């Protein structure tokens, strides 16, 4: 049994977004075999006593510090241009978290895990301890370089990407293991990694016990749903693309079709999108499963962003057919026509939606095959074993 310190950028409970779900379930799986100390950032209103007590049911110790936010205009962030670290990581570095990490290390640690890029700097505080950078997502920064509209924006994006690559290379050279959620992320990092580096794919997962098909559900005909807060730019781009380019084609063939977007809207102006016939924005909902189970299909029209989509895995576990772009399904072991429908162009996606609307047998087959897939490959118990294998390999080094 190892003593593990897990540094989390996200306060993991309640797990109300994809990043928190990953941290929460990985903590539970790790704690089955090891003693886990959680050191987490928390927003105002998070880390209430009852939440702390819940996490202490499986973590031997739980501590939190205030979560910093990146403010590009601050002096600290500006001076970050001179640092070897991306200036966002300079700006959000927390002395309070550093103190927590040092104190935990002094008490004795066998493995230090830093979750997400925002926590990677804390690995520098214990260079002698076997370590894991968990869920390094870097292709999104590559996308920003490619999508930059102006040369100045492209230069800044490239500088950030280069600094991240150098930082990751440095970690790998001193034996830190890196986990990623997809083969695409792994392949990208291998371009600049030393030949003996440990870069392991630990995909996202889903709780297939909690998320199960409801045999009593009676989905509303011709209903589609997308689950994701539009405050995240990739989600806003996906919804905008779908409503403007795909939805008119769908409604032309099925005027009764309805499209629901769940997730917070924050200060994003969605009035023009919401004004389109049949489009509804619910805002944040505490429980997404009933909405999914009352729909005919999940659409995932993502065109940017990294990682793998917990929204797809959740829908599959609940028995909901999924239509996605290639980008949306990136990193998942899915097959078009077997457990998902893949369509990248507006007309293609509208055709796929119409095929689902017209064919109950297709909906049933996709749902059954997808449910079997997530049970076999994406339950958190299976995913947890992958991370445990990485930890075991470090202990043997």
Low-confidence ranges of the chain (pLDDT < 70): 306-308, 395-397
CB 363 within 8 A of CB 178: no
Which domains can be identified in the chain, with CATH numbers?
A: 3-205+379-395 (3.40.50.2000), 223-378 (3.40.50.2000)
**Alpha helix ranges (H) inside 318-379:** 346-358, 360-373
Q: Retrieve residue 91's tokens.
A: 């700006």
pTM value?
A: 0.88
Q: What residues pair up with 281 in beta bridges, in sequence order? A: 261
- The pLDDT, as a whole number, for residue 149 is 82
Q: Where are the alpha helices (DSSP H) in 259-345?
A: 271-274, 289-293, 310-317
* Spatial contact of 323 and 341, defined as CB atoms under 8 Å apart: yes
Calpha distance 118→71 (Å, rounded): 14
Q: In what order do the strands lie in the sheet with 258-262?
A: 279-283, 258-262, 223-227, 297-300, 322-324, 341-342
Q: What is the pLDDT of residue 307?
A: 58
Q: What is the pLDDT of residues 155-196, one digit of tens each?
A: 988 999 999 999 999 999 999 999 999 898 999 999 999 999
pLDDT of residue 308: 58
pLDDT value of position 74: 87
The Cα 201–Cα 134 span in angstroms is: 10
Secondary structure tally for the chain: helices H, strands E: 16, 13
pLDDT in the model for residue 306: 67
């Amino acid at each position: 049994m190892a003593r593990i310190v897990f540094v989390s950028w996200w306060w993991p409970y309640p797990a109300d977004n994809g990043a928190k779900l990953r941290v929460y379930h990985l903590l539970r799986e790790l704690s089955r075999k090891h003693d886990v100390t959680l050191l987490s950032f928390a927003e105002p209103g998070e880390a209430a006593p009852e939440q702390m007590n819940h996490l202490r049911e499986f973590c031997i110790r739980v501590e939190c510090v205030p979560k910093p936010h990146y403010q590009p205009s601050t002096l600290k962030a500006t001076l970050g241009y001179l640092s070897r670290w991306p200036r966002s990581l300079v700006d959000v570095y927390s002395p309070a978290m550093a103190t927590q990490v040092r104190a935990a290390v002094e008490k004795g640690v066998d493995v230090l895990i830093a979750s997400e890029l925002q926590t990677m700097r804390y690995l520098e505080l214990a260079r002698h301890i076997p370590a894991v950078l968990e869920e390094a997502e870097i292709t999104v920064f590559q996308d920003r370089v490619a999508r930059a509209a102006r040369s100045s924006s492209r230069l800044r994006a490239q500088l950030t990407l280069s600094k991240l690559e150098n930082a990751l290379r440095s970690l790998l050279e001193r034996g830190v293991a890196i986990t990623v959620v997809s083969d695409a992320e792994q392949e990208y990092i291998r371009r600049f990694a030393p030949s003996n580096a440990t870069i392991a794919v630990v995909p996202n997962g889903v709780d297939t016990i909690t998320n199960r098909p409801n045999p009593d559900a009676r989905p509303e005909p011709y209903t589609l749903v997308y689950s994701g807060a539009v405050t995240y730019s990739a989600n806003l781009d996906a919804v905008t693309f779908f409503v403007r380019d795909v939805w008119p084609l769908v409604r032309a063939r099925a005027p009764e079709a309805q499209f629901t977007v769940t997730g917070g809207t924050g200060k994003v102006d969605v009035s023009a999108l919401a004004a389109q016939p049949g489009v509804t924005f619910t805002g944040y909902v505490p429980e997404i499963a009933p909405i999914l189970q009352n729909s005919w299909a999940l659409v995932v029209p993502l065109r940017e962003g990294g990682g793998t989509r917990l929204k797809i895995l959740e829908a599959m576990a609940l028995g909901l057919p999924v239509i996605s772009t290639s980008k949306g399904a990136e990193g998942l072991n899915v097959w078009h026509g077997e457990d998902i429908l893949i369509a990248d162009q507006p007309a293609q996606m509208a055709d796929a939606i119409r095929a689902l609307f017209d064919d109950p047998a297709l909906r049933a087959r996709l749902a059954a095959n997808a449910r079997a897939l997530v049970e076999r490959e994406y339950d958190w118990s299976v995913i947890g074993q992958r991370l445990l294998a990485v930890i075991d390999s470090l202990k043997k080094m």
